[in-house]
Structure 1
Amino acid sequence: MGLAQGHGAAGRAAPLIAVHHPDAARAMQLAAAVAANGYRVELLPSSGAGLQSWRDGCFDLLMLNPFHGRPDPIEFIHLARSIAARRPLLVLSDRDALTDRMAALRGGADDAIGWTDNLPEVLARMSGLVRRSRLAAGQLGCDELRIDLIDRRVERAGRLIRLPLREFDLLANLARVPDRPISHAALLKAVWRIDFDPGTNRVAVHMSRLRAKIDRNFAWPMLTTVKGRGYALRSRPA
């Protein structure tokens, strides 16, 4: 569920924040606050309904409360860490408890905070994590592939590859979660900001063009189609 379609400087889409809280009212409260601060928001469904939408998400930061009503919060934090991959994970607790914050940090969270009466600090920490992540993510690497997100420059095995905007954005989204398939729908949403299937083959067309530039005349193909699941960027030869 997208709640905001914000745009940053030069018309670039604002960062997308994935939010999960088991309590629907609190989830909406968090999402509304995030959207009011100029970010796009995706409300993630209960993990009990399956995690495919979590894994498919092309979000910039994952924010969730793993403590509310869960007997296994640490296990859920580990799971969230694996889903977030290289992206920031901000763990919230409905209480200001040192034990919760320490458990979250030990479980792999990038930051943790008690949030119920402290939304301004939550938003400040979220913004800080996104900002630092974007700076750190100025360079993405996957085997012999190097992507400079600031200058929008791509190299493979030291060879410069020039890409137009859409192809670059496709590649960058795949590179953030190497070896993990991203669905057609998720790529439409991340690259074209489309929340529905327009019935076109635009993703396939752009992927074909991207493959011709990233894989042709190299030792092994990095871009692969995963049947029934989407596309993935391989980090090593099959």
Structure 2
Amino acid sequence: MHPSGMAAEGDTKLLVALYHPEPAVAARIAAAVVAAGYAVDVLPDPDAGLRPWLGQCFDLLLLGSPVDATAADALAAVRLARSVAGRRPLFVLTDRDSRDARLTALSGGADDALGWRGNLPEVTARIAALLRRSLMAAGQLGVGDLRIDLIDRRVERAGQLIRMPQREFDLLAHLARVPGRPMSRAALLKAVWRIDFDPGTNRVEVHVARLRAKIDRGFDWPMLHTIKGEGYALHPHRGVPGLTTC
């Protein structure tokens, strides 16, 4: 998060726009979202004008609803946020952990609603799920700072275009669909090469090595990991205990 509360210009991370009427709560949520690997733009009170809300190219809008909000005020806030978010995901956090509060948010147009009560790990997990579904619906996959356009078959990491042939693209796309989870050699042979048996060649290892050279070499940290005895995995964050890139 930028010191001013705005995402830094040129940041290639997925951007979460956040509003909560209590600044201390907003700061706490923002810190957890940043720690989960996203950029955050903390929005000002909409009563002061919607220009900052409408001027951001965010990927998800996170709206906080305070515990003392009436049902009518909460519904109006969600409807306003829905109009700003458009087709992008809208996630509402209600400070009151009640079924009625969640139903109000969902009926107002939220894609998800959580009575969170400080449960920040669940908040960030739900953000990840919403963003993953949103990108896939748009024909895109995102893992960390890696962007994969499934329609144009285009790959970028940290804003840098990476060119690759069809097999390597297909291999990367299959790994990106299950970030952080290993895919076995047999599963990759079946998914990428449509082979249901072990041909006794090292084709998977060769293509993984070529793919690793393209998406990891020259970047700050490796994403493509070899997991001994299990296969290969793409991980969105730096430093994954128990994994090896050998």
- Cα distance change, pair 96–70 in 1 and its aligned pair in 2 (3 A): closer
Q: Which residue of the partner structure matches residue 54 of structure 1?
A: 53
Alpha-carbon spacing, 1:38–1:62, altered in 2? closer, same or farther (3 Å)? same
Q: Which residue of 2 aligns with 1:117?
A: 118
String of CA shifts for 1:195-228, please: whole Å, max 9, x gaps: xxxxxxxxxxxxxxxxxxxxxxxxxxxxxxxxxx
Q: What is residue 206 of structure 2 aligned with on the other side? A: none
CA contact (8 A) 1:22 1:68 kept: no
Give the AA of the match of 1:102. L
Show the counterpart of 2:78.
Answer: 77
* Residue 87 (structure 1) aligned with residue 74 (structure 2): no
The TM-score, its normalising length taken from structure 1, stands at 0.55
Moved over 6 A (4+): none
Change (3 A) 1:117 1:67: closer
Letter in 1 for 2:83: S
Give the match's secondary structure for 2:65.
coil
2:14 and 2:67 mapped to 1: Cα distance?
Answer: 26
SS in 2 for 1:19: strand
Q: Deviations over 1:151-198 (max 9, x none)?
A: 4479xxxxxxxxxx89xxxxxxxxxxxxxxxxxxxxxxxxxxxxxxxx
In 2 relative to 1, CA 70–52 (structure 1 residues): closer, same or farther, beyond 3 Å? farther
**Shift of residue 75, structure 1, vs aligned partner:** 1.1
Residue 23 of structure 2 corresponds to 24
1:107 aligned partner, one-letter code: G
Contact kept? 1:3, 1:32, Cα under 8 Å: no
Structure 1 pair 82–153 and aligned structure 2 pair: CA distance change class (3 A): farther
8 Å CA contact retained: 2:67, 2:96? no
Which SS does the other structure have where 1:26 is aligned?
helix
- 1:65 is paired with a residue whose SS is strand
Deviation at 1:14, TM superposition (A): 1.5
Matched, 1:130 2:134: no
- Give 1:95 shift: 2.1
Structure 2 Cα separation of the partners of residues 108 and 119 of structure 1? 22
Aligned to 2:103: 102
CA distance in 2, matches of 1:123, 1:38: 10
What is the aligned partner in structure 2 of residue 150 from structure 1?
Answer: 150
Task: State the superposition RMSD in angstroms.
Answer: 2.8
The whole-number CA distance in structure 2 between the counterparts of 1:100 and 1:47 is: 21
Letter of the 1:44 counterpart: L
Alignment partners' CA distance in 2, 1:117 and 1:65: 12
Q: Do 1:17 and 1:40's aligned partners in 2 also have CA atoms closer than 8 Å?
A: yes
Q: Percent identity?
A: 49
TM-score, L = length of structure 2: 0.53
What amino acid maps onto 1:14 in structure 2?
Answer: K
Quote the offset at 1:51 in angstroms: 0.7
- Once residues 96 and 119 of structure 1 are traced to their aligned partners in structure 2, the CA distance between those partners, rounded to angstroms, is 14
Give the number of the structure whose alpha-carbon radius of gyration is greater.
2
Size of the aligned set, in residue pairs, is: 144
Partner residue, 2:40: 41
Q: What letter matches 1:25 in structure 2?
A: A
Partners in 2 of 1:78 and 1:44 — Cα distance? Answer: 17
Letter in 1 for 2:95: D
Letter in 1 for 2:49: G
Alpha carbons 1:61, 1:84 under 8 Å: kept: yes
Shift of 1:65: 1.3
Query: Cα offset for 1:81?
Result: 0.4
1:2 shift after superposition? 4.3
Alpha-carbon distance, 1:87 to partner: 0.3
Q: Flag structure 2 segments of 5+ consecutive residues without an equivalent.
A: 141-147, 161-246
Shift of 1:48: 1.5
